[in-house]
Structure 1
């Protein structure tokens, strides 16, 4: 989905009518704030930076998940590595949150410019807002997954500590410890299956988003062609009318055939 977002961002550099641009610049020169072009350039820079950091952020989250970064092990080295990864994750999370806030502020300033200019750049502003929405969704999804994993690991770590204390308590609790071990293994297997299902659902969602973007582009191109070439629009209308007429004729013929068969059977 991030690649589609970058593609969408690159297509936003379409040219606008010179009259709208001159009107935008002339009205913004009166104001003391930044111009539309400056805001759009800043928005693209922030989007590229957020896109790169989201990829790195996802890799860090995946390494924490794959390497069991929050596990409660007795080995000191993994714990130190887990602490370093966790600190890196928190720093990147705060950095991304700050960048998303900055991009939201830039979008608000762009909205003010659009309102001042009479709404000539609504399409570009809407595209920037969609990109910001996708970035927020990806960031929140990754962050929530890590928070859920931390909670699960804390729960499993508590069970593991209890099991260790039971083992140290004597042989009378071995059977109960074995049962708790089995329950812990079942819980881990359930977590793995749940993670696989979530990954499959995420992949399906990304594919659907890509298809939606493709369909939107095709629809916008068809609408643009219909506006530019009225003859094509009229041809499409005639084709639809002919399809409806053919459907009505076929339905009437089928109905007559059924009525004839019923009459013939009764006779």
Structure 2
């Protein structure tokens, strides 16, 4: 047990350290995204790319930290000692990672949208490239922005798939409950009317959930290819 516990505790310590670092950087990352946007709005002569260099640098650092935390979580799951408490710990670390990824994606998407609006506003009167940045550099930054948007869409799709799996699990639970109710109804015929109303409501709820999932998927696809 000791040969397993030592690496496990070390990975937990690393995960907590990374989580603290990411939490601090995410706060600064969000504030930097807002301040850089305000600076560009107040100063028409400030080039967009230069004013956002610090934001892009912090974005890359955060992405690396998130990747490291994801790798550590996977290692923890591989060597985790058996037990309910251990499973709860792994689940909690993964939930924290998902929250951080969503916050990072929201801030990146917000800044990317702001940059696109400012580029459109400047479309009628082109400005010279920022000093020290070639056209290739600008294309590379634009490719990074598109890559960030694709990552955001992929993460939203993963969230939708997790929600679908959760709904599937609930469906299996409902099936087991229905089987039990059927057994009871066979013993007590007066419950048949109650079972009919329950089944009707379940079909209605399933239809509503299906419509909501379809609408969300359609909106995500429209956003991704807009």
CA contact (8 A) 1:107 1:129 kept: yes
Residue matched to 1:88: 54
Q: 1:124 aligns to what SS in structure 2? A: helix
CA distance in 1, matches of 2:114, 2:12: 38
Aligned to 1:68: 40
1:117 Cα deviation (Å)?
Answer: 3.6
Larger radius of gyration: 1
Match of 1:110 among 76, 90, 95: 76
**Does residue 48 of the first structure (1) align with residue 20 of the second (2)?**
yes
Structure 2 residues not aligned, in runs of 5+: 128-226
Unaligned runs of 5+ in 1: 1-22, 163-267
Shift of 1:144: 0.5
Secondary structure at the aligned position of 2:40 is classed as coil
Distance 1:66 1:160 in 2: 21
Which 4+ stretches in 1 moved above 4 angstroms? none
2-structure distance, mates of 1:101, 1:148: 24
> Can you list the C-alpha shifts for 1:124-173, whole angstroms capped at 9, x where unaligned?
110000000000000000000111111111111113559xxxxxxxxxxx
- TM-aligned CA deviation for residue 109 of structure 1: 0.4
Q: Is the counterpart of residue 125 in structure 1 residue 90 in structure 2? A: yes
| Equivalent in the alignment of 1:179 | none
Q: Which residue of 1 aligns with 2:161?
A: none
**Hey, what's the Cα distance between the residues in 1 that align with 2:54 and 2:74?**
30
User: Partner of 1:98 in structure 2?
Assistant: 64
TM-score (norm 2): 0.51
Q: Is the 8 A contact 2:40 2:51 kept in 1?
A: no
> Kindly tell me: are residues 130 and 70 of structure 1, through their superposed partners in 2, closer, same or farther at Cα, counting changes over 3 Å?
farther
C-alpha contact 1:70 1:153 (8 A) present in aligned 2: no
- Is residue 43–residue 103 contact of structure 1 (8 Å, CA) maintained in 2? yes
Give the RMSD, CA atoms, in angstroms.
2.4
Distance 2:42 2:106 in 1: 18
1:107, 1:128 within 8 Å by CA — same for their partners in 2?
A: yes
Alignment partner for residue 138 of structure 1, among 96, 103, 128? 103
User: What SS does the corresponding residue of 1:63 show, helix, strand or coil?
Assistant: helix
Q: 3-state SS of the aligned residue for 1:159?
A: coil
Is residue 46–residue 103 contact of structure 1 (8 Å, CA) maintained in 2? yes
Q: 1:70 to 1:119 in 2, by over 3 A?
A: farther
